[in-house]
Amino acid sequence: MSFPWPEPGTPIAQIPTPMPLIDEDRLARNIARAQEYFDGCGKDFRPHVKTHKIPALALEQLAAGAIGINCQKISEAEVFADAGIDEILITYNILGAARVARLRALHDRIGGLRVTADSATTVDGLASGFDAARPLSVLVECDTGGKRCGVQTPEAAAALAERIAAAPGLRFLGLMTYPSVGGAAAVEAFFSATMALLDARGIPCPVRSNGGSPDLFKAHEVPSATEHRSGTYIYNDRAMQRAGHCGAEDLAMHVLATVVSRPAPGRAVLDCGSKALTSDLLGFSDYGRIEGHEDARITTLSEEHAVVESIGADFPGIGEQVRIVPNHTCVVTNLFDRIVFHRDGVVTRTLPVAARGTVW
Amino acid sequence: MSFPWPEPGTPIAQIPTPMPLIDEDRLARNIARAQEYFDGCGKDFRPHVKTHKIPALALEQLAAGAIGINCQKISEAEVFADAGIDEILITYNILGAARVARLRALHDRIGGLRVTADSATTVDGLASGFDAARPLSVLVECDTGGKRCGVQTPEAAAALAERIAAAPGLRFLGLMTYPSVGGAAAVEAFFSATMALLDARGIPCPVRSNGGSPDLFKAHEVPSATEHRSGTYIYNDRAMQRAGHCGAEDLAMHVLATVVSRPAPGRAVLDCGSKALTSDLLGFSDYGRIEGHEDARITTLSEEHAVVESIGADFPGIGEQVRIVPNHTCVVTNLFDRIVFHRDGVVTRTLPVAARGTVW
């Protein structure tokens, strides 16, 4: 028996829980505001689709003015290419002959594929799968303080750029970083030092791609960056609000949940466990904020239960609904095959999370 | 372009990452050993399928001697009913007319459906959806120290049992608890006190259902329990090993990952982030154990990257694979649409995680 997804016009009080809800007006405003900011500061904007994994939303981001999208996996990129999106940056080291062949197949059908690399191993693997007739564009990933992937120095970045430029199947396109929060000065220093080294070697470096949602509205503090990548800004979440990126009125995602038990004074149990909210804390001491019940704390998650403590006298009773602002939207999306959109509490559409569950 | 799932006989070195792997021999041994234990102590065993969400594995558990299965959601139960499984306990407060109608539809097509309740609200809602011609079996959920759902005292349990017994559409079947670890004495005290109260009122209480994997092999310490429910034991994980439930040789699930970067001395980056391992810590200070590299620590997860620190000189290089023992198997399963089984590193089968992503 398949699940009866709510038709447009259904009040959200009638839809099943736990369920992520997206507020259409806030969504549209988040898309527009970020794009207006980047238009104003003259930088390209490339939304990261990992947050929503929904082609229809990527098309809305592109219609607003984004120059392309950012994916993390080939299989995600394939889903968005199927939706007609041509400009795709995969910010990942693609390794192994099978993956490189898959990447080549994608390159053969879209116009604007580009990837990143931070090692000679990755570059050489890519080089073996592409040829000079239609080279693959590659950016060098730089570690500007994020301490994840990335070459460690401008000298190493320039050397890897030379290796890319020398490969017949590849084209060196520029630099990419995923910085630490507040790392604008470090990004600027790394990018500008590398650009000087490349300039001295006669290697063009047209794209310098910076990223992150918490610092989205500070992208102008990195003058050398030509583009910015952000994902979470489209929905926003509790961590983005704490970071000062957005206000409560910009939170487009809530997780709708039902009170399933009021077992003891001060305690309630909701039907949204770690298989709905995830256990991402992101520095918080509880698993989400319950709208309208600021003193209540989601202290423990099991897989299908959330235990709420310190509830007030006005906390909803058994069978009633609450809305939760999740700590981190991107991982919530990834747990659901389809999510519900609404305007003022009335369903507008439901959309499959088409690029979740993909492999590679 | 659909994903080319590996055929039986494929070496796991050739399969894409990140990917959960299940060791067939360990899986079979985990199923057999638990069942032998319960056969030996004369208790019914009811595996919780939340861990695997795969009907074929539930059928293996039943073939070994389990009396039925345990689900947490109606939609999960429907998937297992579709596979021909008739004896299903849903350990959840089912609330709301729409859910109760859905539950009734399931009851109308299988023989052995039973649910739990911990409040009059839940009981009255269930009662409204079923009738005396074929009543629904209901167990009272008891809080024996787990501090999640459950009535708080034997008196409250007996009162709720009376309410169930008095409803024409319902049949009071017994008691259920999800105890805290090491809570055998508390479970025994709660169950036996409630049984005495029910006996005095002439209400039969044939089923007393205890649960949990960490204390699985201590189920005999609760003499009044007639059945035990466990999920994680089928795969086991790092938390189960720490709890003393199993040894390293019983860990049936690994997450296969690829080293995608070696950006700096002492640091490696894997392609298994929080969208593969989840951020469940369960009291550990890192996100999984890397087989054969006991000093290495997965210190940070982002969505598609795991940062490993304190790596040794023998740590695999870029493009090489590692196997990770996840902190918590049940939430890993829930992230993948299909997983890979192997024997001695050679693929035996791949199976869809059929009950993930279901609603209600």
Tell whether B232 lies on the interface with A, counting CB pairs under 8 A: no
- Domain identity same for A254 and A231: no
Distance between CA atoms of residues B88 and A254, nearest Å? 32
- Domain identity same for A16 and A29: no
**Closest by Cα among B246, B240, B207 to B43:** B207
**B359 belongs to a structural domain:** no
> Is it the case that residue A263 has pLDDT exceeding 60?
yes
Q: In the structure, what pLDDT confidence band is assigned to residue A252 with cuts at 50, 70 and 90?
A: very high
Q: Which positions ≥6 away from B42 have C-beta within 8 Å?
A: none
Helix (H) or strand (E) holding A28: helix A24-41
pLDDT digits (tens, 9 = 90+) for A238-247: 999 999 999 9
ipTM above 0.95, yes or no: yes
pLDDT digits (tens, 9 = 90+) for B54-93: 999 999 999 999 999 999 999 999 999 999 999 999 999 9
Beta bridge partners of B71: B90
Distance between CA atoms of residues A175 and A204, nearest Å? 11
| Alpha helix ranges (H) inside A42-150 | 55-64, 74-82, 97-107, 120-127
> Is it the case that residue B132 has pLDDT exceeding 70?
yes
**B358 belongs to a structural domain:** no
Cis peptide before B18 (omega within 30 of 0): yes
B118 contacts on A by Cβ (under 8 Å): 261, 263
- Domain identity same for B218 and B295: no
Task: Determine the pLDDT at residue B182.
Answer: 86
What value does the mean pLDDT take over residues B223-250? 97
Whether residue A148 and residue B72 make contact (CB cut-off 8 A), yes or no, is: no
DSSP sequence for A232-263: GGGT--HHHHHTTS--GGG--EEEEEEEEEEE
How many domains would you assign to chain A? 2
Enter the DSSP assignment of B11: B
Q: Are A288 and A276 in contact (CB under 8 A)?
A: no
Q: In the structure, what pLDDT confidence band is assigned to residue B345 with cuts at 50, 70 and 90?
A: very high
- Separation in Å, CA of B117 to nearest CA in chain A: 9
Please provide residue A227's backbone torsions phi and psi, each rounded to the nearest 5 degrees. Answer: -140, 160
Task: Determine the pLDDT at residue B92.
Answer: 98
Last residue in a domain, options B235, B269, B300: B235
How far is the CA of A8 from the CAs of A25, A235, A337, A340, A348, in angstroms? 15, 20, 18, 10, 5
- Separation in Å, CA of A175 to nearest CA in chain B: 16
- Residue reference for tokens 């197949």: A105
Task: Determine the pLDDT at residue A146.
Answer: 96
A263 contacts on B by Cβ (under 8 Å): 118, 143, 148-152
DSSP sequence for B268-309: EEES--TTTT-S--TT-SSS-EETT-TT-EEEEE-SS-EEEE
- Residue B154 tokens read as 């034997």
- Domain identity same for A49 and A131: yes
Distance between CA atoms of residues B111 and B90, nearest Å? 14
| AA letter at A126 | L
- Separation in Å, CA of A40 to nearest CA in chain B: 30
- Domain identity same for B156 and B178: yes
Distance between CA atoms of residues B16 and A316, nearest Å? 46
Interface test with A, best of B93, B126, B340 (most A CBs within 10 A): B93
**A240 belongs to a structural domain:** no
Query: Strand A306-309 to strand A267-270: parallel, antiparallel, or no bridges (unpaired)?
Result: antiparallel
B264 contacts on A by Cβ (under 8 Å): 143, 147, 152
pLDDT digits (tens, 9 = 90+) for B95-111: 999 999 999 999 999 99
Report the residue from A121, A269, A360 with minimal CB separation from B319.
A121
**B5 belongs to a structural domain:** no
Beta bridge partners of A269: A261, A307
- Domain identity same for B259 and B221: no
- Residue A252 tokens read as 């487009």
> Is it the case that residue B316 has pLDDT exceeding 80?
yes
Q: Which positions ≥6 away from B354 have C-beta within 8 Å?
A: B53, B54, B55, B79, B83
The counts of H helices and E strands in chain A are 9, 17
Q: Are B16 and B349 in contact (CB under 8 A)?
A: no
Report the residue from B72, B122, B143 with minimal CB separation from A304.
B72
Tell whether B303 lies on the interface with A, counting CB pairs under 8 A: yes
- Residue reference for tokens 């169950």: B191
Percent of chain B with pLDDT over 90: 96
For residue A337, the chain B residue with the least C-alpha distance is B357
Most confidently predicted of A63-72, A350-359, B178-187: A63-72
Query: Exposure of B173 by Cβ count < 10 A (0-12 exposed, 13-18 middle, 19+ buried)?
Result: buried
Distance between CA atoms of residues A230 and A34, nearest Å? 9
Q: In the structure, what pLDDT confidence band is assigned to residue A3 with cuts at 50, 70 and 90?
A: confident
Around A173, how many Cα atoms within 13 Å sit in the side-chain half-sphere? 22
**Closest by Cα among A321, A280, A289 to A298:** A289
Distance of CA A297 to the CA centre of its chain: 26
Q: In the structure, what pLDDT confidence band is assigned to residue A348 with cuts at 50, 70 and 90?
A: very high
- Domain identity same for A164 and A308: no
> Where in the sequence is the domain holding A203, given as residue range(s)?
24-235
Specify the pTM: 0.96
**B360 belongs to a structural domain:** no
- Domain identity same for A173 and A87: yes
CATH code: domain of residue A105? 3.20.20.10
pLDDT digits (tens, 9 = 90+) for A163-222: 999 999 999 999 999 999 889 999 999 999 999 999 999 999 999 999 998 899 999 999
Tell whether A151 lies on the interface with B, counting CB pairs under 8 A: yes
> Is it the case that residue A230 has pLDDT exceeding 90?
yes
A360 contacts on B by Cβ (under 8 Å): 3, 16
What value does the mean pLDDT take over residues A117-141? 98
- Domain identity same for A215 and A254: no
| AA letter at B233 | Y
Task: Determine the pLDDT at residue B181.
Answer: 87
Q: Are B165 and B198 in contact (CB under 8 A)?
A: no
What value does the mean pLDDT take over residues A55-71? 98
Strand ranges in B86-226 using DSSP code E only, listed in sequence order: 87-90, 112-117, 136-142, 170-177, 207-211
Q: In the structure, what pLDDT confidence band is assigned to residue A65 with cuts at 50, 70 and 90?
A: very high
Task: Determine the pLDDT at residue A1.
Answer: 55
- Domain identity same for B227 and B98: yes
> Is it the case that residue A358 has pLDDT exceeding 90?
no
B50 contacts on A by Cβ (under 8 Å): 303-304
- Domain identity same for A226 and A253: no
CATH code: domain of residue A292? 2.40.37.20
Restricting to A residues 152-171, those with a Cβ less than 8 Å away from any Cβ of B are 152
- Residue B238 tokens read as 């790092």
Distance between CA atoms of residues B320 and B257, nearest Å? 8
Task: Determine the pLDDT at residue B1.
Answer: 55
**B345 belongs to a structural domain:** yes
- Domain identity same for B229 and B81: yes
Whether residue B330 and residue A279 make contact (CB cut-off 8 A), yes or no, is: no
> Is it the case that residue B36 has pLDDT exceeding 60?
yes
Beta bridge partners of A71: A90
Distance between CA atoms of residues A33 and A69, nearest Å? 17
**B68 belongs to a structural domain:** yes
Last residue in a domain, options A235, A258, A292: A235
Helix (H) or strand (E) holding B38: helix B24-41
User: How high does pLDDT run on average in chain B?
Assistant: 97
pLDDT digits (tens, 9 = 90+) for B202-222: 999 999 999 998 899 999 999
Task: Determine the pLDDT at residue B359.
Answer: 82
Restricting to A residues 101-130, those with a Cβ less than 8 Å away from any Cβ of B are 102, 105, 118-119, 121-122, 125
How far is the CA of A292 from the CAs of A169, A240, A297, A316, B22, in angstroms? 57, 19, 12, 10, 44
How many residues belong to chain A? Answer: 360
Distance between CA atoms of residues A171 and B34, nearest Å? 58
Three-class DSSP category at B173: strand
Distance between CA atoms of residues A68 and B108, nearest Å? 51
**Closest by Cα among A188, A247, A289 to A30:** A247
Percent of chain A with pLDDT over 90: 96
**A359 belongs to a structural domain:** no
For residue B78, the chain A residue with the least C-alpha distance is A1
What value does the mean pLDDT take over residues B151-174? 98
> Is it the case that residue B189 has pLDDT exceeding 70?
yes
For residue B143, the chain A residue with the least C-alpha distance is A263
Last residue in a domain, options A201, A235, A269: A235
- Separation in Å, CA of A331 to nearest CA in chain B: 7
Restricting to A residues 198-227, those with a Cβ less than 8 Å away from any Cβ of B are none
